[in-house]
Amino acid sequence: MSLSVWSPFIEMEELFDKYARSSRKSLATSDDKMFEVGDWMPVVDIDETKDAFVVKAELPGVKKEDVNVNIENGILTIKGEKKTQVKDKKQHRMECTYGSFIRSFTLPQSVKTESVKAEYKNGILNLNIPKSEKTRPKNIEVKVK
């Protein structure tokens, strides 16, 4: 029997590397449904106001024509691609992320999907998804007698 030094941090790094190298750009199955996996995932903020849900997605370096926003069956999907400029040159470091991306979010039933407004400026996608009238909060005054 030989003794060895155990390093939990090395095992944790190997685990993270394993998941980082998972099969991207493939289709995965879940509950007999197929969903797409992208090369990278943009960060998204979702805020709620009294009148709407506001979605802000950061898409640096992505052109407007390479972004697709779709709402189908109560699912908001933001999909696109950040294209790389392949040039015949020697690269010393490549840290920027390129390739396809996709993010999907389940919307509440209380939104008006036909009135969604989208704006794309400086690599930021802003979506304004209005709530239906019946779901907006109402203040009811309680009278004391």
Look at residues 53, 40, 61, 37 and name the one whose alpha carbon lies nearest to residue 124: 61
Q: How confident is the model at residue 38 (pLDDT cuts 50, 70, 90)?
A: confident
Q: How confident is the model at residue 26 (pLDDT cuts 50, 70, 90)?
A: very low
Cβ distance 40 to 101 under 8 Å?
A: yes
**Gap between the Cα atoms of 29 and 76, Å rounded:** 19
Could you state, in order of their start, the residue ranges of all structural domains in the chain? 25-84+96-134
Q: Is the pLDDT of residue 24 over 70?
A: no
If one counts every other C-beta atom within 10 angstroms of the C-beta of residue 57, the result is 22
- Does 16 or 123 have the greater pLDDT score? 123
Q: What is the pLDDT of residue 96?
A: 83
Q: How far is CA 118 from CA 8, 65, 130, in A?
A: 46, 13, 12
From the number of C-beta atoms within 10 Å of its C-beta (0-12, 13-18, 19+), residue 76 rates as buried
Q: What is the pLDDT of residue 33?
A: 42
From the number of C-beta atoms within 10 Å of its C-beta (0-12, 13-18, 19+), residue 101 rates as buried
Q: Is the pLDDT of residue 63 over 90?
A: yes
Beta bridge partners of 137: none
The helix/strand/coil state of 124 is strand
Mean pLDDT score of the chain: 83
Fold (topology level) of 25-84+96-134: Immunoglobulin-like (2.60.40)
Share of the chain above pLDDT 70, in %: 83
**Gap between the Cα atoms of 92 and 79, Å rounded:** 30
Q: How confident is the model at residue 28 (pLDDT cuts 50, 70, 90)?
A: very low
- Does 80 or 93 have the greater pLDDT score? 80
